[in-house]
Amino acid sequence: MNVASLAMVLLLGSAPASKAKEPDPVQWPEHREVLEVLPPEQRDLDEAKRLFEAGRRAAEHARWDEAIRYFAEAYHLSGSPGLLYSLGRGHRELYFHHGRDPVQLQLALLRFRQYLEASPDGRNHDNAARYIEELEPYAAVLEGFEQPVVITRLMVYGPVEGAMVTIDDAPPREAPLSLDVIPGSHRVEMTAPGYHLAVRTVDVPEGVTVPLEIRLDERAALLLVRGPAGSDLHLDGQRVAELPLGAAITLPAGPHQIAVARAGRVPFVRSLELQRGETEDLEVQLPRTSQRKAAFAALGLGGAGAIAAATLAGLALRSQTRGRRIAEERLTVGIDEERYAEGQAAWQRRDELRTAAVVTGVIGGLSLATGAILWLTDRPRLADRLYRPERARPLTAAPSLWRGSAGVAITGRF
């Protein structure tokens, strides 16, 4: 045994006993030495990007076997060298953390070398070279790669995080999901909190890998607003109804502005973040404005002034009647000085009461007019407060992420 062989035995000696036997024949298409790439005119870069994103998400959850399948399929559709680097990272992770399988070791070295050859100036050149230097001491000689058996595979993915996939009668599993299936028709269901159930039927021919992207439709949010009858309801900058509402309003999830206004009341304005499938029950209180309170006070004062003016006018008329009666007595039967003084006092009292009635009436009238003006001009001023929020996210749009996140072993660029 030469030194290299002895070193390899020592390096691989820590592997589990179950891995010491000869590895099973390679069965996965992505284990081919040279991965097949479609001709340029048949490539689909958009689909390849979506597959890469599905693989990246699988890698974030340490589902490296599934991530490798997605990366390999994305490479088949695009031929992007960066995916060779991502495949190398995936095989390296499987080797170090899932049993020290020498096939994964050889595949990791192979993909890193293919990446360096295909992209000598790639952004991950130094990383790939470092990984090769790291892995070479562990390498054992493998007798090439056997031809893969026919694989029939269904790969289900979508843009919604945490979605669950059910294929036929199998238990639900988190997306993205890559599963080997028998040829034929399969029922695929995808669910996620806040989204409608999506059901697809897909035919998977024998020996074909079928990628299936499912985009879920969001459940709408419901908004019920309760408040003073006759109030105007403004939604996202526009008047939409008058309270009370007959039923809840259906809205897309995301930010919204709710405003409720009524003459003489302080407007209610609030921004809400509605969640998918949520029902928001909003009870609105509209206190009176200071202007409306002042209008009430002015109208009350004016009313009191009018009553007082009428009362004073009545008393003035009564004094005038008394003065006239005494004057008639003087002309017909004659009166003494005391009766004459009484008549003069009645006329003087009439004049004083009449003046007081006029002054009180003017003040009351001005108060009524002021109250009426305050009342009529007390309208809610909302124009400078209303706006239409920009949606925080489209209903079904998928994020576009083409670089790995920190802490995740996918740092290649597509």
- Residues 53 and 131 occupy one common structural domain: yes
> What is the model's pTM?
0.50
Residue 406 lies in a domain: no
For residues 201, 206, 209 and 210, what is the CA-based torsion angle, rounded to 10 degrees?
-20
Residue 386 lies in a domain: no
Residue 153 lies in a domain: no
Show which of 263, 283, 303 is a domain's final residue. Answer: 283
- Residues 251 and 314 occupy one common structural domain: no
Split into its structural domains, the chain has a count of 4
- Residues 100 and 50 occupy one common structural domain: yes
For residue 28, what pLDDT is reported?
A: 60
Residue ranges in 122-200 assigned as alpha helix (H): 125-135
> Under 8 Å CB-to-CB from 81, ≥6 apart: which residues?
115, 118, 119, 122
Residue 167 lies in a domain: yes
Nearest to 131 by CA among 152, 151, 116: 116
- Residues 56 and 126 occupy one common structural domain: yes
Residue 314 lies in a domain: yes
Residue 74 lies in a domain: yes
- Residues 25 and 133 occupy one common structural domain: yes
In tens digits, the chain (414 residues) has pLDDT values of 333 343 343 334 333 333 333 444 444 666 777 888 999 999 999 999 999 999 999 999 888 888 999 999 999 999 999 999 999 999 999 888 776 777 888 899 899 999 999 999 888 998 999 888 888 777 754 444 455 556 788 999 998 888 999 999 889 999 898 888 899 999 999 999 989 999 999 999 988 888 899 999 988 888 888 888 888 898 888 888 888 888 888 888 889 988 898 888 888 888 888 888 888 888 888 888 888 888 888 888 888 989 998 998 999 898 889 888 888 888 888 888 888 888 889 889 989 898 988 998 899 889 888 888 888 887 887 777 888 887 644 333 333 323 333 333 344 445
For residue 8, what pLDDT is reported?
A: 40
- Residues 89 and 14 occupy one common structural domain: yes
> Under 8 Å CB-to-CB from 46, ≥6 apart: which residues?
none
Residue 146 lies in a domain: no
Residue 116 lies in a domain: yes
For residue 253, what pLDDT is reported?
A: 83
Show which of 83, 103, 138 is a domain's final residue. Answer: 138
CATH (domain of 60): 1.25.40.10
- Residues 12 and 110 occupy one common structural domain: yes
For residue 149, what pLDDT is reported?
A: 56
Cα 165 from Cα 175, distance rounded (Å): 6
Nearest to 227 by CA among 255, 271, 266: 266
Q: Is 270 helix (H, G, I), strand (E, B) or coil?
A: strand
Q: Which residue has the tokens 């991950």?
A: 124
Domain range for residue 67?
3-138
